[in-house]
Chain A
């Protein structure tokens, strides 16, 4: 209950006209940054850093963190409307968000995404409020073997049910692994698979691949079908927002589970991108009707969104409590903390409670402000779909390519986007699944680093992955996930048999 008192103090610090204005400004800038694919939340936050040098630390962190929330929301918008993830963590939202928007329900898709994201974020903050000290200790137990186990679990929960052509899933996923390998190798300190091409030293950016595979690939498919978005026919009614709100309780289970995944991934810290993929995969695995996934299933939207945002907010906890950033954006904010004269770490809670609890209070308020802001603009976003394709198409192309250039100031990346675009188009028409490629690209090099670090720790013995209860149980969970379809079949068969025994007439 001590924390509760601190939190009230925090609210007292933060609730003022000055701070509310900062929140609105931060969220709006964040949405802008999130919508534009080249500018990510880390860029946006680091660009605002110089502005904060003259502010007091509480106002500064309110501005930066609100920008972060805004960027997380903005990233989902373009995923749903144009199949272009503005942020890596909103890739999983495209799987069902974009099909739903295309079927004429853009308003519903956006509302679902924003509200579930808001719930995820608030859940993350509640966790920070109540459990900060315990959770920080939990995060410390994670070392390379545990990380490897977590990545395995993420893969296991997502893969295993690939479409009708397992070989295509295999090729797609392995290409993703190979792409993640390109560039500097952390463990050996040497370059890999760069084939003497200078522009490959920095590696192939995940965003470049995603913008090509999803964005340009989708535009090619759209033009083939006749240059227009399907969403054009629907009327946009503000009432739809309210109707969708009433629908949310039906997804409570999916949201609850995804929030837990998100919080876990945020604090360990495996990051929001892994969280959103894992939540999507697990929701699909436990869904009663998995065939609807990928075609606009509402729980396919709420799961990655709530996981993404709960991970995004929880990622600030290890930063505050341990001095370990849980995400790229948190790393930038930590740089800011140092410049403002604060030392991120366990003592921050004791030395500067006004700052820490002010920040936590602002996380509640900032996320509420963000949800209200984005919800009120839903009809506006959906209206973008009514702009003629001859205008919006080229603008999207220009945004994608300028974004690709911004990532590393390199025109090489723009050509890569084009190549990925053609590959995305061909893959989609030939039914190669793209999601495994993307997942492998995000987690591939991290998983490999964790594996090789573990091998260094254990002197090359694989038994390290079963060496303590934590790593062993995560590994076991992963194997369970991988085998789940099989278990499900066996269970289903048994039920089937039992039912047919009881009532032979309905069995056939």
Chain B
């Protein structure tokens, strides 16, 4: 009997060396935004799904480290080299921040685990504005460069990079006013203090429902899938893609990403990858994506690395063009 058991133990140890890692103490979810931010909702949704379906035995502790546009969280995680208990949640800011600000971490200080969704960007204008579609908007922008004010979240971050790319794509100039969050940019647009913003669907949904803002086009290769109408008989599917509207900027999205500190073993990465993969199959996850109008896209390993590489190259071009790259 004893012999049989030890053989079994030996066999399992040999058979599954890759799955050797199993967390036996609380796992910290490091959220690189403040409570209530997009990344916060993302991490807490993952947490709730893991808890509900018992996808992991170890408990999860969520800590918000949104200081310095999220740099606080990445620096914190980078300091725990090889620690398998620090899972960091972010967006593409993980690899953008080190290029635009003198933050004391490098993109390589974190190991990619997975990208779980792509958040979309749209051009929104005030509900009462006389822009009926994206084409007229672009026309006005071209007629009077610099007259249209875009609001967005943070500076030299995804929103401003998009506005800058858009200006270059259509050949005009916009003014960009940075606010603390997408929520603030949404209110300012609803109040008519700025002309447009490039918020994610979730940040402007409430105002759209009330007709206070309206979408012009979405930076997505195809239209949104069919869904319920939101306002005035129009739903997400009725929004033109920006390409249809004649804007030569087909695709601009923001991945929702998960990272481990660099030096974490391959078995550790594999473990969390599997857990997150299971999360992404759950109905609650689909519900979250649908509610926030994000696109389901689960990327891991080389696919994810390739995505990061491509995204980084595209963005770096804009940064270079604007002179935002730090030496």
Contacts and interface: CB of A to CB of B under 8 A. Distances in A.
Q: Is the pairing of A and B real?
A: yes
Contacts of B205: 343, 345
Contacts of B157: 189
B210 A347 contact: yes
Closest 6 CB pairs of A and B: A345-B206, A202-B67, A189-B155, A331-B36, A346-B210, A143-B193
B58 interface: no
A50 B183 contact: no
B44 interface: yes
A142 B191 contact: yes
B92 interface: no
A343 B209 contact: yes
Given A190-B100, A347-B209, 12 more contacts: A45-B35, A46-B36, A49-B44, A140-B192, A185-B155, A190-B102, A201-B67, A202-B71, A323-B186, A335-B40, A343-B206, A346-B206
A50 B51 contact: yes
Contacts of A333: 36
B187 A140 contact: yes
B75 A198 contact: yes
B186 A324 contact: yes
A16 B70 CA distance: 43
Interface string B193-224: 11000000010011101101000000000000
B67 A184 contact: yes
B37 to A, nearest CB: 8
Given A191-B102, A335-B44, A338-B291, A183 B210 contact: no
A144 B184 CA distance: 10
B67 A323 contact: no
A188 B101 CA distance: 10
Contact of A186 (B52, B155, B292): B155
B149 A328 contact: no
Nearest to B288: A339
Interface residues on A, range: 35 or more
A363 to B, nearest CB: 20
A335 B102 contact: no
B286 interface: no
B72 A202 contact: yes
Contacts of B40: 46, 335
Given A140-B191, A325-B36, A449-B180, A202 B206 contact: no
B314 to A, nearest CB: 19
B210 A345 contact: yes
Nearest to B292: A338
Interface string A196-228: 101001110000000000000000000000000
Contacts of B52: 53-54
Contact of A140 (B48, B177, B179, B190): B190
Interface string A346-367: 1110000000000000000000
B95 interface: no
Output the residue of B37, B157, B207 with the most chain A CB within 10 A.
B207
B172 interface: no
Contacts of A183: 67-68
8 contacts: A185-B155, A189-B101, A190-B101, A201-B67, A334-B36, A339-B41, A339-B48, A409-B76
B183 A325 contact: yes
A130 B37 CA distance: 30
B8 interface: no
A43 B63 CA distance: 9
Interface string B124-166: 0000000000000000000000000100001111001000000
Contacts of B45: 339
Contacts of B192: 140
B242 to A, nearest CB: 24
A315 to B, nearest CB: 13
Interface in A435-489: 449, 453, 456-457
B295 interface: no
A374 to B, nearest CB: 25
Given A50-B44, A332-B35, A449-B180, A324 B187 contact: yes
B188 interface: yes
Contacts of A53: 48, 52
A318 B67 CA distance: 24
A41 to B, nearest CB: 10
B289 interface: no
A143 B36 contact: no
Contacts of A70: none
A504 B305 CA distance: 91
A456 B40 CA distance: 30
B209 A345 contact: yes
A184 B67 CA distance: 8
B36 A408 contact: no
Given A203-B67, A324-B187, A335 B35 contact: yes
Contacts of A328: 34-36
Contact of B177 (A141, A202, A343, A453): A453
Contacts of B184: 324
B47 interface: yes
Contacts of A5: none
A131 interface: no
Nearest to A322: B187
B103 to A, nearest CB: 7
Given A328-B34, A343-B205, A345-B206, A186 B187 contact: no
A46 B65 CA distance: 13
B209 A332 contact: no
B206 A347 contact: yes
Interface string B279-316: 00000000110011000000000000000000000000
Interface string A102-135: 0000000000000000000000000000000000
B35 A322 contact: no
A42 B47 CA distance: 18
Given A141-B191, A449-B180, A341 B63 contact: no
A187 interface: yes
Nearest to A50: B48
A196 B35 CA distance: 27
B35 A331 contact: yes
B67 A322 contact: no
A456 B292 contact: no
A344 interface: yes
A453 B35 contact: no
Centre residue among A141, A143, A187 by max chain B CB count within 10 A: A143
Given A142-B191, A189-B101, A198-B75, A348 B178 contact: no
Nearest to B105: A198
B111 interface: no
Contacts of B156: 188-189
A186 B180 CA distance: 6
B245 to A, nearest CB: 26
A46 B35 contact: yes
A45 B44 CA distance: 13
